């Protein structure tokens, strides 16, 4: 079996577009949630979101700007991760290098634009690039084409766990010797009128905090009311360990374990057993006991059901040790990126190892007796010894994905 190193990080997020900027903002509990700037916000009941400060013109030519924001954010993150890793691959090496990207709904911005054009503006045709803008595999393809990577180019769509699945499966691809380098991560841009109306109808979006909109996401707090939609992308360079060492690459951490399970229960309701088993499987593959994990980045959506179920699942997986592990939901600051959430949160977890610090769960002012773990309320903690971290992602449909990374 091969070991898998993380050698590059790239991110576009509501809390910063550089890894260390992002981590510093999270440690300071600086939120990216605010009142929306979009004109369609006037037609919404809920007008808050976690928007990313991303301008495609900072990265691409006018030709590329014709594509959907979802794909462009992924490509920008991949470009940053590639630079961070200092990669230079020969044509022969590119045959063993691939791209694994997760997204929940693909090019929703383009879908929204086409619906508006056809049904409200009575146009007879839409953009000729509509199909390739909308297709869910466009982000992975943009990245593959940009770098000339000729290994697997795959897209995973498992709702909120999509990009954790993409990273986990990329890890296995390298572990079992099929590839040497993979750009893995996820992307999502659901800040569109149609998306918002759909999530509103489902009843899972957070109500706006009337005193301070930036504090509207309150995971694990008794007064939580749902999640805030965010947008962004995160891409990590995964590299076979000896390949990385041979070229003298800096190594952030090593991926050690991955657990994936299905609830087989309900299209939206989570289960303790499904989540708990995913954590246990990841621990088993990593060869770690319960006391080997020093931080958990929780799925922590701030919905009534998820936070209680995840709390119980962590207890199932870790027993009494669960009460002594710092656990936080950074969604409280960067919002919920849906298909891109897992990659962003895993990247944050890797930075926790690098910085020996854990970011907080912001806005946790009213503890919920049913959520009684150490949820690192309101202020980050530094000066720790973070040996290994766990990142949890649980998607609608019951697809659970858990990744463990450890210090090298």
Question: Which residues are the active-site residues?
Answer: 160, 299, 336
Residues 214, 324 within the same domain: no
DSSP, res 369: T
122 and 263, same domain (yes or no)? no
Are 270 and 239 members of one domain? no
Asked if residue 251 is part of any domain, the answer here is no
Count other Cβ atoms within 10 Å, centred on residue 39: 8
Q: How far apart are CA 342 and CA 344, in angstroms?
A: 6
**301 and 217, same structural domain?**
no
User: Per the domain annotation, does 252 fall within a domain?
Assistant: no
Query: Strand order of the sheet with strand 399-406?
Result: 153-156, 97-102, 181-188, 232-240, 4-12, 253-262, 399-406, 388-395, 295-297, 327-328
Select from 188, 220, 246 the last residue of a domain: 246
Domain that holds residue 172: 4-246
Per-residue pLDDT 10s for the chain (408 aa) are 999 999 999 999 999 999 999 999 999 999 999 999 888 999 999 999 999 999 988 888 777 877 899 999 999 999 999 999 999 999 999 999 999 999 999 898 888 888 888 998 999 899 888 899 999 999 999 999 999 999 999 999 999 999 999 999 999 999 999 999 999 999 999 999 999 999 999 999 999 999 999 999 999 999 999 999 999 999 999 999 999 999 999 999 999 999 999 999 999 999 999 999 999 999 999 999 999 999 999 999 999 999 999 999 999 999 999 999 999 999 999 999 999 999 999 999 999 999 999 999 999 999 999 999 999 999 999 999 999 999 999 999 999 999 999 999
> Do 109 and 222 reside in the same domain of the chain?
yes
Q: How many other CB atoms sit within 10 Å of the CB of residue 211?
A: 6
Does 253 reside within a domain?
no
Both 11 and 151 in one domain: the answer is yes
Residue given tokens 């509990």 in the structure block: 29
115 found inside a domain:
yes
C-alpha closest to that of 49 among 200, 222, 211: 200
Whether residue 224 sits in one domain with residue 201: yes
Judge if 312 and 342 occupy the same domain.
yes
Six token digits for residue 25? 């903002």
Angle at alpha carbon of residue 169, lines to 263 and 130, rounded to 5°: 90
Question: H-helix or E-strand containing 150?
Answer: none
Q: What CATH number is attached to the domain comprising 23?
A: 3.40.47.10
**CB atoms closer than 10 angstroms to residue 178:** 14
Which of 246, 279, 302 is the endpoint of a domain?
Answer: 246
Task: Give domain status of residue 389, yes or no.
Answer: yes
Last residue of a domain, one of 246, 272, 300: 246
Hey, what are 130's tokens?
A: 């509509």
Judgement on whether residues 232 and 286 belong to the same structural domain of the protein: no
Whether 130 and 21 map to the same domain: the answer is: yes
Q: Give domain status of residue 69, yes or no.
A: yes
Same domain, yes or no, for 219 and 277? no
Does residue 242 sit in the same domain as residue 268? Answer: no
**Based on the structure, what is the number of domains in the chain?**
2
């Amino acid at each position: 079996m091969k070991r898998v190193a993380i050698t590059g990080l790239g991110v576009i997020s509501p809390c910063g577009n550089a890894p260390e900027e992002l981590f510093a903002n999270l440690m300071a509990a600086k939120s990216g949630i605010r009142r929306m700037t979009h004109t369609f916000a006037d037609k919404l009941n809920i007008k808050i979101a976690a928007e990313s400060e991303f301008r495609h013109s900072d990265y691409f030519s006018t030709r590329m700007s014709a594509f959907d924001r979802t794909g462009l954010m992924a490509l920008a993150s991949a470009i940053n991760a590639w630079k961070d890793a200092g990669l230079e691959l020969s044509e022969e090496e590119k045959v063993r290098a691939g791209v694994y990207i997760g997204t929940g709904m693909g090019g929703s911005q383009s879908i929204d634009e086409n619906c508006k054009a056809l049904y409200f503006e009575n146009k007879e045709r839409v953009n000729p690039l509509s199909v390739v803008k909308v297709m869910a595999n466009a982000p992975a393809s943009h990245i593959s084409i940009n770098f000339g990577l000729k290994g697997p180019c795959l897209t995973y769509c498992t709702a909120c766990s999509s990009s954790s699945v993409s990273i986990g499966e990329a890890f296995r691809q390298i572990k079992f010797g099929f590839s040497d380098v993979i750009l893995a991560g996820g992307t999502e841009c659901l800040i569109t009128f149609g998306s918002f109306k759909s999530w509103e109808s489902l009843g899972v979006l957070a109500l706006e905090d009337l005193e301070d909109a930036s504090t509207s996401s309150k995971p694990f707090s008794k007064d939580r009311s749902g999640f805030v939609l965010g947008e962004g992308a995160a891409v990590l360079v995964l590299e076979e360990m000896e390949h990385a060492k041979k070229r003298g690459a800096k190594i952030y951490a090593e991926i050690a374990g991955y657990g994936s399970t299905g609830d087989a229960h309900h299209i939206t309701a989570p289960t303790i057993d499904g989540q708990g088993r995913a954590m246990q499987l990841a621990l088993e593959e990593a060869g770690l006991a319960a006391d080997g994990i020093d931080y958990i980045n929780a799925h922590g959506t701030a919905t009534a059901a998820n936070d209680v179920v995840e709390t119980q699942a962590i207890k199932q997986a870790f027993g009494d040790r669960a009460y002594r592990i710092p656990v936080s939901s950074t969604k409280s600051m960067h919002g919920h990126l849906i298909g891109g959430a897992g990659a962003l949160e895993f990247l944050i977890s890797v930075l926790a190892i690098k910085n020996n610090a854990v970011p907080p769960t912001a806005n946790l002012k009213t503890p919920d007796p049913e959520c009684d773990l150490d949820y690192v309320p309101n202020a980050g903690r530094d000066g720790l010894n973070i040996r290994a971290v766990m990142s949890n992602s649980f998607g609608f449909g019951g697809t659970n994905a858990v990744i463990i990374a450890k210090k090298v």
